Amino acid sequence: MTLALAVLLAAAVGWCWGHSTARIRIIRIPSGPPAPFDDGVVAVALAGACCDMWWTSAGAEHTGPCLSRWATRVACCPECSVAPGAPCHQDGQPLAAAHDRRIQEAKETR
């Protein structure tokens, strides 16, 4: 039994020293500033995230200005009678945020 373990260990060590795929290669760490982030998939996903809560809830929750932009994108506004995508308005002037009724409408259609 001991002889078999010794032979197995010797074969493994010999393979590690001799086989080209088992050789340890030294990785050079570049000096200087890191390269800019260019992973396309992650960059697109992050660009599509409108707020931290949206990102952590996989698109189910929104907060603050993000909630207003989301409601503007997906729901009609019953208060000022505009279609999805058009901003809410008051006295002919577009508002920075959606009306509360539009946000409620967007939540109900979810």
Give the CA count within 13 Å in the CB-facing half-sphere of 97: 10
In sequence order, which residues have a C-beta less than 8 Å from that of residue 82 and are 6 or more positions away? 76, 88, 89
Q: What band does 52 get if pLDDT is binned at 50, 70 and 90?
A: confident
Whether the pLDDT of residue 17 is over 70: the answer is no
Strands 89-90 and 93-94 come out as: antiparallel
Q: Quickly count: other Cβ atoms within 10 Å of residue 88's Cβ.
A: 22
pLDDT one-digit tens code per residue, 58-108: 777 767 778 888 889 899 999 999 999 999 999 889 988 899 999 899 888
For the chain, the C-alpha Rg in angstroms (whole number) is 29
Separation CA 80–CA 78 (nearest Å): 6
What pLDDT does 16 receive? 64
